[in-house]
Amino acid sequence: MNDMANSIRTGPDDRGHFGIFGGRYVAETLMPLILDLEQHYKDAKNDPAFKAEIESLNKHYTGRPSPLYFAERLTKELGGAKVYFKRDELNHTGSHKINNCIGQILLAKRMGKTRIIAETGAGQHGVATATVCARFGLPCVVYMGKTDVERQKPNVFRMKLLGAEIVPVTAGAGTLKDAMNEALRDWVTNVEDTYYLIGTAAGPHPYPEMVRDFQSVIGKELREQMMEAEGRLPDALVAAVGGGSNAIGLFHPFLDDKDVKIYGVEAGGRGLQGEEHCASLTAGKPGVLHGNRTYLLQDDDGQILEGHSISAGLDYPGIGPEHSWLKEIGRVDYVPVMDDEALEAFQMLTRVEGIIPALEPAHALAHVVKLAPQMDKDQIIVMNLCGRGDKDVFAVGQMLGFEM
């Protein structure tokens, strides 16, 4: 690894900037609280007891480390680089989201907060938040776009079982962006007792840094597991990006390893020509929304566009600010994958490896399908299999015309 002076892993600066991205763009009511949160997070990071508690819960509650799996049949089928999966879909609650929720709920407890709110798209973050709230005995309110409530019913019921209150958001297109607006409105109203547990590596500083740190367990484990399996680092990393939390968790520990190529896969929806996609890095431009400066899908007048993706978890017109910076400095390649390619990859993995992936990592897989055959057989790709597909089975069934 490079020394710290040349490292690109040291961000953000003390005002929360990654290059020009990130920062803190919130209403004054929230500012004192966000500064307080930043201080608490700094203190917690330096507290061995905090670290030990996270490690214990990761091991005994979530089931970490998640396995590193060599997808032998898929590798043969693609006929190129060896394909490994980091199996974060095997975590308790079915996705990588729990990694972040455990860290943040412990922080909320340290801060003495007594009520938790969250936004959710696919419902994976909502389920993970409702889970840790049940585990720690805190009331939980989850904001979820009405469209997403419809297309992610199994997760809605799961959250209810876990004791969370689900608030369907009807504003806008009823997806993740609108849920986040509504969660921010709740937070500004209940600022004294409420902790906002943001699910992705976006929002006002320190959230992008904090969520990244909690998710970096993915990439840290992978380094060790890969050394054990192959005695070297991988040649390429691939992960899906919506807001970008699973991706930054995988990428961050490898950013200074210049020989490791890194690909972030955005939702190309029905194609990048129109507005029916969520490829904010490929087709958006810098703007300010939800507390940070980052790439956004927007029109020439600065109005935010709704976007579209087959995957509720990628259906967001923004992206975590560190990804915007990694794009600008050219460290990570961000590529779009279309709805139909993801759907095909979803089915392929199910048949070839007996793993039903969520639609989000199915996007990443569609890029692996393109990438692996172009690489040598002694090269290695690792993809973050960040969520399981149980939640998507009904929606995919409908798309494939299967009567349920």
Partner 1 sequence: MTDTRIDRRFKACADAGRPALVTFITAGDPDLQTSQALLNALPAAGADVIELGMPFSDPMAEGIPIQLGNQRALAAGHTMDKTLDMVREFRKQDQDTPIILMGYYNPIYVRDPKVFVQVAKDAGVDGFIIVDIPAEADDELCIPALEAGLNFIRLATPTTDDKRLPAVLANTSGFVYYVSVTGITGANIADTGRVSTAVKRIKGHTDLPVAVGFGVKTAEQAAEIGKDADGVVVGSVLVSAIRDSLDEAGKATDKTVQAVVDLVSDLASGCARSRTA
Minimum gap (Å) between residue 209 Cβ and partner 1: 16
CA distances (Å), origin 24, targets 27, 30, 32, 35, 101: 9, 10, 12, 10, 21
Please give the C-alpha separations between residue 372 and each of 219, 254, 377, 381, in angstroms, as whole numbers: 20, 20, 9, 7
Which stretch, 132-140, 155-163, 303-311, 389-397, contacts partner 1 (CB under 8 A)?
303-311
Region from 105-113, 157-165, 170-178, 217-225 binding partner 1, contact rule CB under 8 A: 170-178
39 belongs to the binding site for partner 1 (CB under 8 A): no
When asked if residue 288 is in the footprint of partner 1 (CB under 8 A), the reply is yes
Instruction: Decide whether 52 or 171 has the Cβ nearer to partner 1.
Output: 171
* Contact indicator for 339, 270 with CB cutoff of 8 Å: yes
DSSP code of 357?
B
> Residue 118: CA atoms inside 13 Å, Cβ hemisphere, count?
34
291 vs 387 by CB, closer to partner 1: 291
DSSP E strand stretches across 259-393: 261-269, 285-289, 291-296, 333-338, 380-384
Nearer Cβ to partner 1 (34/267): 34
User: Please, which residue, 194 or 246, has the CB nearer to partner 1?
Assistant: 194
Smallest separation, CB 19 to partner 1 (Å): 15
Report in angstroms the alpha-carbon separations of 337 from 2, 80, 247, 328, 367.
33, 20, 15, 20, 7
Does 158 contact partner 1 by CB under 8 A? no
Minimum distance, C-beta of residue 185 to partner 1, in the bound complex (Å): 5
Query: Does residue 20 interact with partner 1 by CB under 8 A?
Result: no
CA gap 54, 102 in Å, rounded: 7
Annotate each residue in 180-209 with x if it binds partner 1 (CB under 8 A) or - if it does not, as one string: -x--xx--xxxxx-----------------
Is residue 301 part of the contact set for partner 1 (CB under 8 A)?
yes
- The C-alpha atoms of residue 95 and residue 389 are separated, in whole angstroms, by 10
Maximum Cα–Cα distance for the chain, whole Å? 59
> CB of 282: closest distance to partner 1 in angstroms?
18
Instruction: Give the burial class of 229: count Cβ atoms within 10 A of its Cβ; 0-12 exposed, 13-18 middle, 19 or more buried.
Output: middle
In 71-200, which ranges are E strands?
82-86, 115-120, 140-145, 165-169, 194-196
Reference 309, options 352, 348, 265, 353; nearest CA is 265
One of 73, 160, 285, 351 touching partner 1 (CB under 8 A)? 285
- Kindly state whether residue 287 participates in binding partner 1, applying the rule CB under 8 A: yes
33 in contact with partner 1 (CB under 8 A): yes
- The smaller minimum CB distance to partner 1, of residues 64 and 308, is found at 308
Nearest Cα to 242, choosing from 314, 293, 290? 314
CA dist 41 and 384 (Å) reads 27
Work out whether 25 is an interface residue with partner 1 (CB under 8 A). yes
Q: Residue 233, Cβ neighbours under 10 Å: how many?
A: 16
Q: With respect to partner 1, which residue has the nearer C-beta, 174 or 287?
A: 287
Nearest distance, CB of residue 148 and partner 1, angstroms: 17
Nearer to partner 1, 209 or 392 (CB): 209
> In the complex with partner 1, which residue's Cβ is closer, 210 or 349?
210
Interface stretch with partner 1, choices 17-25, 154-162, 217-225, 256-264 (CB under 8 A) = 17-25
* Residue 177 in the binding site for partner 1 (CB under 8 A): yes
* Count of chain residues binding partner 1 (CB under 8 A): 39
Nearest residue (CB) to partner 1, 33 versus 248: 33
- Residue 301 or 378 with smaller CB distance to partner 1: 301
The tokens of 326 are what?
């990694």
The tokens for 164 are 């969370």
By CB under 8 A, name the binding residues for partner 1: 15, 23-33, 171-172, 177, 181, 184-185, 188-192, 285-291, 293, 296, 298, 300-305
